[in-house]
Every structure is written in C-alpha cells, then in structure tokens.
Structure 1
Amino acid sequence: MRPTRQRTPSAPSAPVLPDSQDPLTLEPTLPPPYPHLIPQDPVPQGGASVEGNREAEAAESESNPGGPAGRTRGRVLRDQASRLPDSTVALPLREIGSLDDTGLSRLMYWPFSTSDLYNWKSQNARFSDNPKDLTSLLDSVMFTHQPTWDDCQQLLRILFTTEERERIQVEARKLVPGDDGQPTANPDLINAAFPLTRPRWDYNMAEGRGRLLIYRQTLMAGLQAAARKPTNLAKVYSVLQGKTESPAVYLERLMDAFRQYTPMDPEAPENQAAVVMSFVNQAASDIRRKLQKSEGLEGKQIQDLLQMAQRVYNRDTPEEKQFKATKEMTKVLVAAFPQAGNGQSRKQTKQGSRQGLEKDQCAYCKERGHWIKDCPKKRRPANPTSVLVTQDSD
C-alpha cells in the first residue's frame, strides 16, 4: 500500500459529512492526518540471495504443486482462498511493525467497508425503537476496532437519524470529564475533548491516542444517556412474564425496561428493592405465589429470587405438562358441549345396568324365572269399575 502524504490545510476545515451528501460516497475535503508508513528493516546483503532463492523455490512449488492431489479442484480452491484478502475484518487502526522509541506500536489506518456499514444498519433495529442493539454494537466496535474521529462520524451518520445523532452529541458533551474526572461545564475543555469538527489528533502519538480514547468513551456515555426515554413507570409495569417464558428472559426484559423508561440503574444496589418487587408482582401466577410465600422477601437479592423462580419453572416434567394440558382441554370440551357429555354418560349407565342382568332375570325384582312384565311384585293399576248411569238415578 502506498504511503499517504500529509497535506497542510490552507483554510479552516469544513464540517465532516454534510447533510447534502451521501455518507458512504463522500470524500472529505481533507484526509485525516495519517502518518507515513515505517519502512521495513533492510535485509542484509548477504542474505538477499538466499531469500531470493527461497522465494523462487516457493513460487515454483506453487505453480507446479507435486503429488497426486496437486492439480485437483479442492487443492486449487484452497490455494486460491489462501491468497484472497480477508474482507470480513474491518479494523480502522491495525498494528504494524515493531515498537517505536516511546514503546508504542505503530498503527496503520484501514477504513470501514461499505458492506460492513450497511450490514450493521440492516441487521439492527432503529435506535429510537430498540437502543440496546446499536448500543451493544458500538460498544464492541469501540473496543475492538479503535475507530478514529472520522470513523465515529461515519458511524453516527449511517446508523442514526439526524435527531438521534444530535441528541447523542448533546448528551455526550454534557458528560465530558474535567480535571477531577467529573463532568465539566468548561466550554474549552468540552470542545477540546469532544470536538464537533475534525481535530488533528495523531493516533501514532501518545497524546493523540489518549484524546481518541476519551472521545470514544464520552461518545458511548452520550449514547447510553440518549437511549433513556422520559420516565414512564407504566411501561415498566406492563412487562409481564409469559406462560412459557423462562424467568431469565423475563428478568432481562424487565431490566431493559428499567434502563429505557426510568433514570435508575437496575443493577445498582440502591435500586434492588424496586426491581425485586416488580419481578415478583409481574411474574407468572405459579411463580408469583411461590415467591410471595418465601420469608424475608424484601431482603433477598434478585439472583436468589431468579433461582427460586427457575426451580418452579422447571418443576414439571414434559410428561406432566402434557397431561395437564390434556386435562385442561377435556374440561374445556365438557364445558362447551354439556348435553353431549350428559347423554353419553346416561347411555353408558343404561348399558351398564343391562349388562348386569341374566337372560331369565327380572329387571324389577332381580329374581330369575320371569321378566319384568310378568313380575308378581310389580304393582298393577286396578281396573276401574264401570257404572251404568240412568236418568232416574239421583
């Protein structure tokens, strides 16, 4: 890669990524102050011929691989894959060469690829809808990729809307640390630590790296502050555990609601009581009854309650759950069709009574030798006496 030359600006630099241009095709008016590459250590003259012979032998062995599998398709594909550049690694700052006189490793700049930026944008929810996704993504990017100031502006332009980006920057400038480590209101310190225009920070110098580190940390603090919405406890109380939802997943949703709709940190010790009460009162019915019966509920930690809820959740085996589901379905069907159930029960009762009689057994007195129509013990209605009524009778 050819070394990039530094250019001294003749006029104040314009703001990076103006709104009227595409953030992915934009070429800044002035490139960042990326220093020249360090030349590699010269190879001794005596060993140059040896190294050249080795390179020639290696090139010849690659062009004419030996062995029966030397020209197979699998061997050729592996050789081609080994020579392809790795396009999946997007590290703006990579270490190269050895340490310098100050003990710092030299860094080379590699910009983000367009495919990575679009993949991050399409695979994560909007910041206003679900700030957790982009917050986790940028937290990882800041740690592993070490982006420069220009890279951070590109991430803000592509992954966030104009309103979201402005809110993040406003919150971040409120959290710029002062000399005592606490947020400062000094405008000079704020502009120096979190500038809105491109600074001239050399990432190969200790001061430049320190400036970039503070900038990235402040940006992440502003991102987390902007993720908090106005306090709305109704949103927190609306988080209810589903019938088949595990307690761990339910607790994670509840903690996210506290972070998003309240100013409190749910992991802070002083806020444990509020998290515990919400976790118990909004849990599933069987888990809620079990937790409410436990002694010393107010003094228990959320992890202790999570273990108790997990035991209740895993108490029923799959066979028991299937049996309970079948039993509940039977109750529903009986309640929906009561006449069909009563008719079937009467029919079964009648068939059961008939199956208990012998061929010559009476169904009335249960004695054998006659049937019910000839049963002497069965009362018969008396025949009414016919009376002749004449006109002379009183």
Structure 2
Amino acid sequence: MLFLRREGKWDEVSYADMFFTLRNHPEWQKECGINLAPQDPLILSIEKDMRRDGVGKLKRCCSACSIGQRCLKLNEPEERMEDYVLPPINGDVGAGIEVEGAGNDIDSKGFTPITARTRSKIRPIIQAPLRQAMGANGPARIKVPFTTNELDAWKEAVKGYRDDPEVVAKRFELIVKNLDPDWKDIEIMLAALSETEKQLIVKTARTQVQIQVASGALPGTVEVHVPRADPNWDYNDENDYKMLKRYQEWIRIALENAIPKSVNWSRLYTIKQGTSETPSEFLERLRAAMQKFTTIDPSSEGGKLQLVSLFLGQSAEDIRRKLQKMKEPDIRDLERLVEEAWRVFRNREGNERQKLGE
C-alpha cells in the first residue's frame, strides 16, 4: 500500500486492498474457489504469519495437499448431457421472457437447467443447426450454432451458384447430412445468395411440389411442404421432423434446377487428357462437363455411350492407340476401356523409370 501511495498509483489501491483482505481470510479463498492448492502464495503467507505467532502450520486434508498438488477431495461438477436437452414443457412460454426473483419455479416454466442457473433466467431464441443428444427421457434434438467458419465456407461456395448450381446443391446436401439445419437455418443459408437467386430457388421448389400435389402423388398443399413463413415445426416430434427432411430435399432439388442449363456440346470436345492425368481423373472431368453443359445424365445409358466415344477419341495419344485396337464388345464397355487405359498409364511410368535407370 505504501509503495502504491509513494508511486501515486491511486487507481490500484483498491486492488491491493482486496488482495490483502483475501490474504487474511483463507475461508473466503476457499469459498471463491481460489484455494485449490495449499502451496498457493496466499496460503504460504498465512503460514508464515502463523509460525511467527507460534500457532503452527495449516492442517493438510490429504496427501496431494501436502506436496502442493490439486486436492484429491476437490470435486468439480460434471458436465451433464441433460443440460443440453429440453425438459418437458408445462404450458406455453414465450421466447425471450425474463423471469425475475429467485423464488420462481424455473422447471415449471420450461427453462433448461442451463438457463435456470443464469441470473436473468432468459430463454433466448437460438438459430442453429440440430444435433441429437441423449437426455433423461431418451434421444432428443437440440440446437447447436453454426460456426463462423461454416457460414464463411457456405458464403464462399454460393458465389459461383449461377456458374455451377450442381456444386452448390452438393454442398447443401453435405451440410444437411452433417448439420441437419432447420427451417430458420435454411433461411439464413438462402440469404447468402442474391435476392433474385433466393426467390428463384423458392419458386422452383414450390413448382416441384405443385406438380406432385396436382398428380396426387403428394398429399397436402404447397404451403405445407414449402412454407414461406416459419412453420414452427417441433423437431422432437417425428411427423414434424419428417416435414423438415422433405423440405430440405425440396430445397436441394431447387438449388440444382433453378438455374437453366446452357447446353454447349462443344465444351465437351475441348477436354483432352493431360500428360500426367490419370484415366480416372480424365473420365471424371468428362462426366462433370457432361453434367454441366448438357441435359444428358452421365449415369444413363445414353450418357455412358457418349462417354465411351469421348474417352476413346480424347485420351492421351499412347492410350488412344491402344484402346482403338480393342475388339467388340470390350471397345463399347466403359469399365473395360478404363482398365486398359490404366494398364497403359502404369506401363508408361515403368518405361520412364527404366530410361532413367539407363
């Protein structure tokens, strides 16, 4: 204290005063959770004063305390999975309602154990993906926020939506499988696109549903399956959860089909196999180009026939010469063509190693 006064550090006097107050009250240290190890400088200082007064050392409670380690009798509260599961709600409780007073029955108001331990007892509105956890009454779905990296990655992916909607649709499908976003989360994801793109996606989804409803293949109305406003589905209710899964699928289909394809067959014929490109990589490039620039499905029979022709004509020169010597029906079998191409590719690597050895 004298040092602080001498140096004129008046704003630090209150901190020093609090330090010495804690030093002289070890019971407060324990209550505040700072007396975790008996070799703490505060405790050593107290023992020094006690020895000076002839009182002796503080009593150690266990062997760990005697050597300055963490007390074996100190038990920290364990994390309970029930803290992350909504308890049964008795009655409707509005989101964001503050409950004052310590005497209120928190459980009867439908708050989780975590919010019951906060000062204001506020039940916030959380917008985040769903996770499944095990609670006292069995499995339940809970909300876990998107990370900043996840949101940034999605925003980066949708920048090229108009150029390659299939890639964005696949990214959305991956997010659905891993994070299981709900209606509000999907709204956040769609907001990363331009307003025109978002409206086009929603319109496409509703059109797809309208076709199914009109044909009698899908019960209900368009608004039920692709709602414009929050449907307030209960995701721990199986029927509502099924509605969410269908909605996710409708949005995926809409993402893939909302932007009309620009058919350009000439782009396929510009794709040539690189000198170091493997046959599998080359075939995958052909498939991706067919998916992007034509209306043909590469996995269909017609698509496979087109891929055979492209693979035969646009492979590397040494591979192409070998493939053209194949006989029917192998020359029309895409898998056999890829196998033979790989054989030539591996032999090429072996010949190069032999030349280097010479």
TM-score, normalization: structure 2?
Answer: 0.58
Match of 2:132, SS? strand
- State the one-letter code of the partner of 2:150: D
User: Structure 1's 201 and 293: CA in aligned 2 closer, same or farther, altered over 3 A?
Assistant: same
Q: Which residue is equivalent to 2:206?
A: 173
Determine if the alignment matches structure 1 residue 195 to structure 2 residue 227.
Answer: yes
The 8 Å contact of residues 281 and 288 in structure 1, kept in 2 or not, is answered as yes
Determine if the alignment matches structure 1 residue 287 to structure 2 residue 324.
Answer: no
Q: d(CA) in 2 for partners of 1:108 and 1:279?
A: 49
**1:92-113 deviations in whole A, cap 9, x for unaligned?**
112234485xxx7322222323
Q: Trace 1:1-394 onto structure 2 (pairs within 5 A).
A: 66=64, 92-98=129-135, 105-122=139-156, 126-158=160-192, 160-176=193-209, 178=212, 189-226=221-258, 229-296=261-328, 300-317=332-349, 320=352, 323=355
Q: d(CA) in 2 for partners of 1:260 and 1:182?
A: 32
The 8 Å contact of residues 37 and 68 in structure 2, kept in 1 or not, is answered as no
Q: d(CA) in 1 for partners of 2:260 and 2:37?
A: 60
If asked which structure has higher relative contact order (CA below 8 Å, sep 6+), I would say: 1
Q: d(CA) in 2 for partners of 1:210 and 1:279?
A: 43
Match of 1:241, SS? coil
**1:137-157 deviations in whole A, cap 9, x for unaligned?**
211111121111110111111
Deviation at 1:250, TM superposition (A): 0.9
User: Structure 1's 304 and 211: CA in aligned 2 closer, same or farther, altered over 3 A?
Assistant: same
Match of 1:317, SS? helix
Q: d(CA) in 2 for partners of 1:148 and 1:209?
A: 9
- State the one-letter code of the partner of 1:293: K
- State the one-letter code of the partner of 2:172: L
Taking only aligned residues, the RMSD between alpha carbons, in angstroms, comes to 3.9
User: Structure 1's 302 and 183: CA in aligned 2 closer, same or farther, altered over 3 A?
Assistant: farther
Q: d(CA) in 2 for partners of 1:165 and 1:232?
A: 26
**1:276-311 deviations in whole A, cap 9, x for unaligned?**
111211212221222122112576332221111111
The 8 Å contact of residues 92 and 148 in structure 1, kept in 2 or not, is answered as yes
Q: d(CA) in 2 for partners of 1:259 and 1:228?
A: 13
Aligned residues: 246
Q: d(CA) in 2 for partners of 1:182 and 1:254?
A: 38
The 8 Å contact of residues 228 and 263 in structure 1, kept in 2 or not, is answered as no
- State the one-letter code of the partner of 2:232: R
Match of 1:105, SS? strand
Q: d(CA) in 2 for partners of 1:318 and 1:236?
A: 31
- State the one-letter code of the partner of 1:93: L
Deviation at 1:270, TM superposition (A): 3.9
The 8 Å contact of residues 128 and 146 in structure 2, kept in 1 or not, is answered as yes
- State the one-letter code of the partner of 1:142: V
- State the one-letter code of the partner of 1:167: L
Match of 1:178, SS? helix
Match of 1:315, SS? helix
The 8 Å contact of residues 235 and 261 in structure 1, kept in 2 or not, is answered as yes
Match of 1:175, SS? helix
User: Structure 1's 312 and 168: CA in aligned 2 closer, same or farther, altered over 3 A?
Assistant: farther
What stretches of structure 2 of length at least 5 have no aligned partner? 1-29, 39-62, 71-78, 80-126
Match of 2:221, SS? helix
Report sequence identity in percent.
26
TM-score, normalization: structure 1?
Answer: 0.53
User: Structure 1's 120 and 69: CA in aligned 2 closer, same or farther, altered over 3 A?
Assistant: farther
Deviation at 1:182, TM superposition (A): 8.0
Match of 1:294, SS? coil
Q: d(CA) in 2 for partners of 1:135 and 1:313?
A: 34
Q: d(CA) in 2 for partners of 1:138 and 1:181?
A: 28
What stretches of structure 1 of length at least 5 have no aligned partner? 1-55, 72-81, 83-89, 327-394
Deviation at 1:318, TM superposition (A): 5.5
Deviation at 1:178, TM superposition (A): 3.2
User: Structure 1's 299 and 307: CA in aligned 2 closer, same or farther, altered over 3 A?
Assistant: closer
- Bigger radius of gyration: 1
User: Structure 1's 199 and 123: CA in aligned 2 closer, same or farther, altered over 3 A?
Assistant: closer
Match of 2:141, SS? strand
Bigger drift between 241-250 and 115-124 goes to 115-124
Deviation at 1:251, TM superposition (A): 0.9
Q: d(CA) in 1 for partners of 2:311 and 2:226?
A: 39
Q: d(CA) in 2 for partners of 1:256 and 1:218?
A: 23
Q: d(CA) in 2 for partners of 1:250 and 1:182?
A: 43
- State the one-letter code of the partner of 1:106: A
Q: d(CA) in 2 for partners of 1:183 and 1:221?
A: 17
User: Structure 1's 70 and 141: CA in aligned 2 closer, same or farther, altered over 3 A?
Assistant: farther
Match of 2:133, SS? strand
